[in-house]
Each structure stands twice: as structure tokens, then as C-alpha cells.
Amino acid sequence: MVNYMKRSSVDRSKLSPMMKEYVELKDNYEDCIVFYRLGDFYEMFFDDAITASRELELTLTGKSAGLKEKVPMCGIPHHAYSSYIDTLIEKGYKVAIAEQLEDPKKVKGTVKRDVIQVITRGTRLDNNLDSKNNNYIANIYDFSYCKGISYTDISTGEFFCELLEKDNEDIIRNIIKHGFRELIVNDTIDRELINTLRVNYGILITITKNIYEQDDYQYIYQDIEDIRLKTTIKHLLHYILDTKKGDLHHLKKCELVKKTNTLIFDNNTKKNLELIETIRSRDRQYSLLWLLDKNKTAMGSRYLKLQIENPITDKNELERRYHFVEKISTEFIIRDELRTTLDEVYDLERLSGRISYGNLNARDMLQLKRSLNALPKIKKLLTSLDYDKEIETLDEVASLLEKTIKEEPPLSLKEGSIIKDGYNSELDELRKLSSGSKDFILNIEKDEKERTGIKTLKVGFNKIFGYYIEVSKGQKHLVKDEFGYERRQTLANCERYITKELKEKENIILGAEEKIVNLEYKLFMDIREIVKRYISKIQKVAKIISEVDMLQSFSIVSDENKFVKPNLVNTKELNLIECRHPVVEKVMKDKYVSNDISMDQNTNILLITGPNMAGKSTYMRQCAVTIIMAQIGCFVPCKSATMPIFDKIFTRIGASDDLVSGESTFMVEMKEANYAISEATENSLILFDELGRGTATYDGMSLAQAILEYIHDKIKAKTMFSTHYHELTILEKDLKHLKNIHVSAQEKDGKVTFLHKVKIGAIDKSYGINVASLARLPKDLIKRSEEILNIYENHNKKQETFTQTSLFEMTEEEVEKKIEQNEFEEAIRGIKPLEMSPMEALNFLYELQKKYDI
């Protein structure tokens, strides 16, 4: 049975030297699981072992550590640690890697060990990162009256910062939109905010007040003028430098996020419009990103995702992108060559990060070489397209790598066979010596067979005895003293011997091979240091290639789907002719029904009525998606498109409770409506789908009307408002900037056909029961709902809701009788006897008698 003793409870004076070293090291990494290197394994002890054994499904054992009882221990092979780290990181743990800093062969006693890096969700620099997504680590620095936020992707070097002066909800909205998975905060921050981010959104949070005080990374924040933002950046820098413990000079200068430069929308809008992933499966497939991503490089895919999440508002830049998309489409032969060549370019951004930090291998260098070899052709093709940015081909780096790195090097840098022949004379000499000695060893077997006459004689090698001569049991009697054989090992079917000459050659071979491995490692490190000098240039090339790749992707998608170039105007005219939803059109089997979306200078609100399933939500979504596509520089799914540049988009589409915070559908609706009407400007787009349906009918209708009037009179934003409250359509008479439109449907013989065509004017029927019928609800239920609807429509007033489930078990005769009874009772309740004349009362009774056959 394993003893579950804790580190805090042991008598440290009795611990073995190795375990004492461990517990002292662990004291500095209380919030981490320490992977402690012992030979070919990473071991974990005490609480770390208990946790890791549970999370990684490892066998929990014990280790003698100088105490009466063994301490808890579990371990993993050092060469396979990556997958175990992945599991722990995803579960929200931090992992500290403690390596041997000395060669055990050269040290007497305990080998010195220390943590060489801490790996967390936001600080990964390995090959296991998702190539198409950024991996940001962020911080919040609370200044009491405002908060600074900075964030960086350590793997690519991108760095951003901004100030937020609003409440916690705005902070949370910002963090969730960017998808931060790890957050560093200072110690004065609101604990309720921290708890919400941890519990509701699963973000890994570390609290620290430490600030970076050195000058080595001053270049990152020296161009930022606001002292608050400098403090924020230095707060994040301290954490990542303390965590990674390596060279991070590939980190770029921090960019100040300017809200006026981007089209702003929150995470709800990103989710509702399915920009990055679908709502149902939370998968990239069938999202806008999936449709537009025809990139050939990982850098291009990440840049496209960044643009979709942060569309721009610079008209000149957008028209520049349109120009090159059009140019690339026209020069389709050049485009094909460009795509083929881009296919040869690896992830230069993340390669730069690994080169700087030092955790790269020879295969990474090969990827860099192949990428650089493609640059001259890319440069030539861009010149043919008159592209306005020029890439530097870095021929000297490509030439160096061509001369040095072998084509098929091993993964490890400590195995040799990395450097090409002819680069280093000392290495060449050692290789000649080693290969010559090996040839000699091969000849020994032949010579010894001839000298001794032992036909089964073999020369072999193992790590314990080195080179040896092996003779089978059946012929060992042929071994004579004059051969000079010295017995070393007896096996079941053979004897193994060594000779003085064999040992001399062994020393030469093994000595040369060890020197070769050490020299190759040193030469590789020297090459890496040379390449490091070019990191900033490689990053500039990567940025240009990212944009070029994205633009050629837009060209491909636009040609395939018949997208058109938008016409950006300075007025408030929005005119999307025969607009389609690009993703829905791509995946649906039937022909997509296009629709015009027209809001001239005098129209700000489209009030949309129509049946469920007719396409109101899709109609609204395609408007927003088209605008986002236009504001990232892509052509759009229309026959023609004239539009202004929008500053913000707000959406409330779909009904869902916020299960995380426990808020109802209606509360979520009202919060999102409040966010929109408090933040929107006249240059914004607002999409409200059936707002107010989460509460009682008249409450919802009243709120919907008030919100429409507020948007119409005070905000003046372009708004699409779908509703089932047909009473609201009368607003067109009083609100001069509101226009009624409807999605049409046809009803024939009780069956409804959705035409998905948007027409001018209102509609006064929802066809809800028809939709229920299409959903194959029970026929008796559908019939009953039609009867109740008929009562409501005939009385044209609020009536008692019929909920008796027993009606569904009645016969038709009983149901009709029950309906008659209810109608009769309602008629009686409706009279006012004291206000009736005798004649009116007699007439009323006569009509009742006649109608109900009394």
C-alpha cells in the first residue's frame, strides 16, 4: 500500500541528499507539478506524484528517501514527456521541468538540478501548438480607476496592449472575445472578477505584483507613451521571462490597440454569426473562417483568423486589398504558381520563436532553409503582380543552411549526423578516423576467421563490453592460447572474447564518435546564433507572406463563389443586391434564394416579419457576414454591393439561457440589448432577432417598441429587427426611418411553403402551427392548437389559455361540446346586465338560445 505522506509533514533533516535537493527546489514552484529528471525518467514525488498519478493514470509507487517509509512517487520516460504535459496543461496545471545541469559521469555525489522552464497554457513554444490558431497569454493590471491589458503569443512574438476604463462585464467581454486561456493579474484586482473568470470560463489565473525592472527587453514598450500601459507590459514580461527562463528576443514591439481602427463586436456576435466556429458543434468546419481559409501557410491562416476577429475601418487599406485580390484573380496563372510556391513555406513566425528560445532541432533548421529557398520565386511573382511590399530573400542565411545541415538529420541534437561534410575540417578528420576504424573492425572478422579457422566467429558490439569476438559453443574448443583471446562473457550458446588490438581500435572509434557528437552540437549552436541575428528580418518576411497568402485565398474563394468587389461609400447607403449567406449557400443542396438588403440614407431600420423557418435569421446574419467580409478586404456574396464602413456590430440572435451565470433568456436578451443601445453609434449595425420573446407577450411587445423608438430617434444606427409582434408593423406610419419588410410564404390546403424571398411590407401571420406540423408533432395536438388559435382570433382579445391535457384523450364530439361550453361561458361573462335595457336583454337571450340550441 502506498503511503500518501505530504512534503510539508516530513523531517527534512532525515532526507537523502537527492530528496533534500528536490524538496528545496519544489519550495520555489509550489503552484507547479515538478518533472524531476532522474536518468532516463522524469519523476514526481509527494503531492505532485499523487496528483499526476490520478490525472495521467500512472502507477503510484514509492521511493526510499532516508525516511522510515517510502515517499509517493510516479514517473514517465523523458523522451515521451510531451503528451503527458499536454494532458496536464489542458487540465489547468503548470509543469516545471527540472533538468540535470551536470554530467552524472563527471560528478561525485548528487547531480545538480534546476528548473529550466515552466510550461503553462499560454507559454508553450513546442511543435504541439495548433498551427492555425494563436496561443495568447494576457494580463490585467488594475489601476483602480482603469485597467491595463496586454497580451502576447510567445510562439510568434506578436504583442498588443490597450486600456479599459469600464466595468467588469466589459473586461470579461474583452477577455472572452480574444480567447485568452491564461491570465496574469496584479494583487489589487477585484476577487469577484477573478472568481468569475476562473469558475465560469475556465481561465488559468496567476496573481503576482512583480514588474520587469531590467533593460534587455525595453524595446518592446519604449514606443508606448502611456506610463500605465508600460507598467502593464512590464507586469506581463516579468511573468513570461521568469517562466520561460530563456531568450525571448523574438518578441516584437508592442502594438497599441486602437478601437477606431477596427470594426468592434463582442464574443456573442462572433458566436452568433459563426465566424470562427459553429454554434452547434463548436467546430471550425462550416464557419466563415472555414469558407475563406484557402491559405497555403499556417501564418496565412492565423492572419486570416485575426482579421475576421478584428476587421478594419481604414477605407484606403481596404481598397488596397480589393485591388490586389482583383489583380491576383486576373493573373490566375501567376496565382497558381504563387500557391505552389507558398506551399513550400513553413511557419516562419514560430520557427523564429524556437530559434530565439533555443528549443529547435536540425529539422526545424531544414524547414527554415526550404522556406528561404522559396523566397526568390515569391519575390519574382509579387513583382509581376506589382505588389507594393517587397520581401528580403535572405540569401546568406539560406546559403549557410544549405552548406551545413544534412537533409535527413535525427530529431535529437545529441546523436550526431547533423552537419554536412566539407563545412568543418576538424569534423571531417574525425569522421575519416571513425569510418576508417569501422572499416577496420569489419575486416577483423574476416581476418580472424582465416587466422583461426573458426567459421562461426563474429565481431559484435554492446554498450557494456564494447566490441567483442563471439564464438559458438560448438567451436569454442578451436580457440587456442596463441590467439590472445581473453574471455569476457559466457552465454547459453556462445562465448565472447576481447583482444588487445580490438580494444585499441574500440578506444579510437568511440573516442572519435563522442568527439563528433560534441563537435556537431557545438557547430549547430554556432549556426543557430548566426541565424538568430536575422530573426527580425525573418519576421518581416513572415508578415508580408501572411498577407499575400490571405489575399490569394480571398481571390480563390471569390472566383469559386462568384463574389464581387464592394463599393465603399462615405454616405449611409447600404445596398446589397442579391445578397447570399456564403456558408449556407456553400453547404446547402438546393439553390440558395438570394435577397436584396437595401437601406438608403433615409432608412435606418428594417422591421422584418414572417413565419418561423422562413429565413429571417439567415437574412440578418448574411448582412453582418457580408459587412465583415468587406471589412477584411474580401469580395462579398452579392451581385453588387454598396456600403459604408461600419464601426461596430451588435447582435441578439437565438434564444439561450446563460447557464454559466444562471441568467434567464430574458435577462440575457435585456443585457445584450442594453450593451447595444449604450455602445452603438449612427455608424453601427444592430441585429435584433425577436427581441422581447423571453417574457409575457405585452411586456415583450412594449419593450420591443420602446427599443425600436429609441434606436430610431437617438442612435440612428442601421438596424434589422425581426419580430412576431405584428402589431409593431404599424410603427412604419410614425417612424419615418423605419421600413416594413417580410419573408414570404405560401399556404395551400393547410400546407405552408417557405419561399425565403424578402418583400416590401408587413405580414400578419406567423404560420407557427404549420411549422409545428412540419416538425411532425402529433396530429391531435396540431388539431387542438388550430381550434384554440381560432378562438383567440375570433374573440380578438386576451382569453383563458387552454391547458387541459385531458382534451387530447376526448372524442371529437366531446371536444366540440367542450368548446361550445367555453364559448357559452365567455358570452355570459361578457354581458353587463345593469347597463342593458329589457329589450336588449331579451334579444341577447334569444341569440344565445338560437346559437346553442337551448
Q: Which single residue is written with the C-alpha cell 423557418?
A: 613
More confident residue, 828 or 70: 70
**Predicted confidence (pLDDT) at residue 797 exceeds the cutoff of 80:** no
pLDDT of residue 415: 84
- Rounded to whole angstroms, the Cα distance separating 833 from 345 reads 90
Task: State CA 163 to chain mean position distance.
Answer: 24
- Which has more pLDDT, 557 or 790? 557
User: Looking at this protein, which amino acid is placed at residue 851?
Assistant: K
- 137 close to 152: Cβ distance less than 8 angstroms: yes
Residue 578 · residue 595 · CB < 8 Å: yes
- pLDDT band of residue 286 (cuts 50, 70, 90) is very high
Q: What is the pLDDT of residue 829?
A: 66
pLDDT confidence of residue 435: 76
Q: Is the pLDDT of residue 780 over 60?
A: yes
Lowest mean pLDDT among 124-133, 646-655, 781-790: 781-790
So what's the pLDDT on residue 506?
Answer: 80
Rounded mean pLDDT of 474-502? 89
Please tell me the predicted confidence (pLDDT) of residue 79: 85
Q: Looking at residue 752, what is its pLDDT?
A: 60
Asked whether the beta carbons of 124 and 137 are under 8 A apart, the reply is no
Residue 800 has pLDDT above 70, yes or no: no
Cell of 184: 496574469
Assess contact for 73 and 43: CB atoms under 8 A.
yes
pLDDT above 70 covers a percentage of the chain that reads 86
Strand partners for 140: 149, 185
Mean pLDDT in the chain? 88
73: Cα separation from own chain's centroid: 35
pLDDT of residue 795: 57
Instruction: With a cut of 50, say whether residue 293 has pLDDT above it.
Output: yes
Task: Indicate whether 526 pLDDT > 80.
Answer: yes
H helix intervals, 562-591: 582-587
CA distance 743 to 608: 7
* pLDDT exceeds cutoff 90 at 578: yes
Provide φ and ψ at 821, rounded to 5°.
-60, -45
Q: Which helix (H) or strand (E) holds 114?
A: strand 113-119
Strand partners, 720: 606, 687
DSSP line for 457-500: -EEEEETTTEEEEEEEGGGGGG--GGGT-EEEEE-SSEEEEE-H
Q: Distance between CA 473 and CA 493 in Å, rounded?
A: 5
Integer Cα distance of 626 and 620 in angstroms: 10
Q: Is the pTM of this model over 0.85?
A: no
Could you read off the pLDDT of 436-469 as tens digits, one per residue?
A: 766 777 788 888 899 899 988 998 888 777 889 9
Q: List, for residues 180-220, the tens digit of each pLDDT value.
A: 999 999 999 999 999 999 998 999 999 999 999 999 999 99
Residue 375, all three cell numbers: 523566397
